[in-house]
Amino acid sequence: MPEAPPTDEGWFVLHDFRTVDWDAWRDAPAHERERAIEEGVAHLRTHEAVEDAEEGASAVFSVLGHKADLLVVHLRPTLDDLSRAERQFEQTALAAFTEQPTSYVSVTEVSGYVSQDYFEGNEDEIDAGLRNYIEGKLKPDIPDDQYVAFYPMSKRRGETYNWYDLSFEDRSEMMSDHGDTGRDYAGKIKQVIASSVGFDDFEWGVTLFAEDPVEMKNIVYEMRFDDVSSKYGEFGQFYVGRRFPPADLGAYLDGESVPTADHDSPHGEHGGAHGEAHGHAHGDSAHHGDGGGGQHGHGGGSAHGDAPHGEDGGDDESDDIRGELEDLNIYAGTPHGEDVYATVLYSEAETDDLFEEVEGLRGNFEHYGTHVKTAVYEANERDRSAVVSIWDTPSAAETAAGFLSELPGIVSRAGEESGFGTMGMFYTVKSDYREEFVEKFDTVGGLLAEMDGHQDTDLMVNVEDEDDMFIASQWDARDDAMAFFRSDEFRDTVQWGRDVLADRPRHVFLA
């Protein structure tokens, strides 16, 4: 009997489709339409802000074609939360002008295709990237991309091709090949896959998100040629739409373009969700072959530019640190003014192999205007490399982290280590002083090794630009690191650096 992989479930998902009775809407008195808009906006705002539950995500989309006019997507911890959200909509005046032609109920999940260690309780065997990937699949946010496509699907159970008669090994191999196709769309497509076995007519609900709607067509088309789809995939109806903020509901009902100029952000006035990077693998994905999936949304501990733990603007502690360094005449970055966000992952794979993989992902990242830089830095003294990806927005950096966590040999992500971390990013050295800079680092490294609370410090060099340096340092506690920053030796190094660096370094804290 074929092995059924174990599963673990996360948030429940409702795709609530609505059609508008346009005749009734046109014939209604102005005050009724105004009330419907007011109550509809209030309902949607409340749920996008997740005021109805402890956690989750919601978003509203316009839908093209005759099958629906609106789509409201809810992710919540329980089925009861979804039921309440659905019924609360029915209490609004807007509901009187709508019908629900269809809906879809599902639950996010991870399966044994992802990691046997996860289900066997061998937590020590699960690396940080995989843990983040699993968390992101179970509790995904809704990406802030503008366009959405939804479709249900099942695995075929026919006389000739029956997915459930195959061995676990055969299924896993096909899913891995399927994921390789999806990798080509890293940075172009994000998705949420949720199981609907026992909940709805198909076995999975797949929701794709993209800035370019053509990419949604491209990935589905290309994946149709994979065995897992061509032989074993069965699909339901497809729906396509565009996200708009609740405040634009009146404009939508008036036939205007949405989002309007006043609300042209796909995540509206509430800031929206922070995108994830689930690979396109229709539920049964393997960790290293699911279409670029990785750590997403709730990955934790990310290093967004100058802000620790993925926060947009930095916390009080990091601001205090910067203030202390400023008093010492040491530049420590401006989290609000520089408007860049970084994610950093460390790999023990061969640098050449790692760079080849990163170069492929970077080619996709560069299609997006929010991408600033992605590079590989090699450590001088030990066998590990850092992958640094810089973006204009935190959600984009978080999404990139998802894809990058699938790279070979990933062992950790900056901000996840114990203690207090600090990185000096972008030490761009004048070429004539490169050797001096390395020698100076060796001298400082010797000092660090003798300091209380110091764990390790690496000097890393961009494999494409040897003048571009990256320093990662880890301490037991903030006070230990600050003792070094207050030292005469560090101040002397800072002064010396003014002559040898091509620009100012930026210190990034990952407390």
Q: DSSP H helical segments within 91-127, as ranges?
A: 116-120
222 and 349 assigned to the same domain: no
Domain containing 361 equals 308-510
- For residue 456, give both structure tokens: 């390790």
| Domain-located, residue 439 | yes
Asked whether residue 301 is domain-assigned, the answer is no
Going from the C-alpha of 209 to that of each of 49, 55, 247, 399, the distances in angstroms are 20, 21, 21, 12
Whether 346 is covered by a domain: the verdict is yes
Identify whether 155 is part of a domain. yes
H, E, C per residue of 332-393: CCCCCCCCCEEEEEEECCCHHHHHHHHHHHHHHHCCCCCEEEEEEEEECCCCCEEEEEEECC
Q: Round to whole Å and give the CA distance between 206 and 201.
A: 13
Per-residue pLDDT tens digits for 429-468: 999 988 888 888 888 888 888 888 888 888 889 999 999 8
Q: Which pLDDT score is estimated for 423? A: 65
477 in the same domain as 347: yes
Report the alpha-carbon distance of residue 6 to residue 394 in Å, rounded.
33
475 in the same domain as 392: yes
The vertex-127 CA angle with 123 and 132, nearest 5°, equals 95
Tell me what pLDDT residue 304 has: 26
Q: Are residues 188 and 331 in the same domain?
A: no
Query: Which of 221, 251, 270 is the endpoint of a domain?
Result: 270
232 is catalytic: no
Q: Please report whether residue 372 resides in a domain.
A: yes
Question: Which tokens belong to 178?
Answer: 């399927």
Whether residue 152 is contained in a domain is answered as yes
Sign of the CA dihedral running 42, 48, 50, 52: positive
Same domain, 443 and 489: yes
User: Same domain for 263 and 315?
Assistant: no
Query: What pLDDT, on a 0 to 100 scale, did the predictor assign at position 123?
Result: 65
CB contact at 8 A, 11 and 108: yes
Residues 149 and 84 in one domain: yes
Angle of CA points 467, 386, 325, to nearest 5°: 70
Indicate the Cα dihedral angle 425, 327, 311, 42, nearest 10°. -140
Burial 121-137 (b: 16+ CB within 10 A, else e): eeeeebbbbbbbbbbbb
User: Which residues are bridge partners to 7 per DSSP?
Assistant: 111
Helical axes 316-327 vs 478-485, angle rounded to 10°: 20
Distance of CA 378 to the CA centre of its chain: 25
Strand ranges (E), 64-141: 70-76, 98-99, 103-111
Phi, psi of 335 (to 5 degrees): -60, -30
Tens of pLDDT, residue by residue, the chain (511 residues): 777 888 999 999 999 999 999 999 999 999 999 999 999 999 999 999 999 999 999 999 999 999 999 999 999 999 999 999 999 999 999 999 999 999 999 999 988 777 777 788 766 667 666 777 788 889 999 988 999 999 999 999 998 999 999 998 899 888 888 877 877 787 788 989 999 999 999 999 999 999 999 999 999 999 999 999 999 999 999 999 999 999 999 999 999 999 987 665 444 443 333 333 333 333 343 333 333 333 333 232 222 222 222 333 344 555 566 566 666 555 454 433 355 677 888 899 999 999 999 988 888 888 777 888 899 999 887 788 999 888 877 777 877 888 888 888 888 887 666 677 776 667 889 999 888 888 888 888 888 888 888 888 888 899 999 998 888 888 888 888 888 878 887 777 777 777 888 876 666 665 4
For the chain, how far is it from start to end, CA to CA, in angstroms?
A: 50
CA 465 – CA 376 distance, rounded (Å) = 10
Q: Which two tokens stand for residue 430?
A: 């004048």
Asked whether residue 242 falls in the same domain as residue 324, the answer is no
20: helix, strand or coil: strand
What the block records as the tokens of 58 is: 């919601």
Name which of 384, 349, 413, 385 is nearest 127 in CA terms. Answer: 413
| Measured distance CA(343)–CA(390) in Å, rounded | 7
Q: Are 137 and 109 in contact (CB under 8 A)?
A: yes
Whether the pTM exceeds 0.85: the reply is no
One of 151, 239, 252, 377 is an active-site residue; which one? Answer: 151
Q: Is residue 469 part of a domain?
A: yes
Q: How far is CA 142 from the centre of its chain?
A: 9
Coil, strand or helix at 194 = strand
pLDDT in tens, 207-221: 999 999 999 999 999
CA separation for the pair 433, 429 (Å, rounded): 7
State the total domains in the chain.
Answer: 2
CA atoms in the 13 A half-sphere facing the CB of 90? 9
Does 266 lie in the same domain as 327?
no
Tokens representing 336 are: 């609000």
Written as one string, the DSSP assignment of 138-155 is: HSPPPP--SEEEEEEEEE
Write the DSSP symbol of residue 307.
B
My answer on whether 383 and 505 are in the same domain is yes
Q: Is residue 14 part of a domain?
A: yes
Q: Which residues of 341-350 are buried (b: 16+ CB within 10 A; e: fewer)?
A: bbbbbbbebe
pLDDT of residue 108: 97
Same-domain status, 202 and 351: no
Q: Which CATH number goes with the domain that contains 69?
A: 3.30.70.1030
Domain with residue 474: its CATH number is 3.30.70.100
Structure tokens at 21: 């009775």
Q: What is the pLDDT of residue 298?
A: 29
47 and 148 in a single domain? The answer is: yes
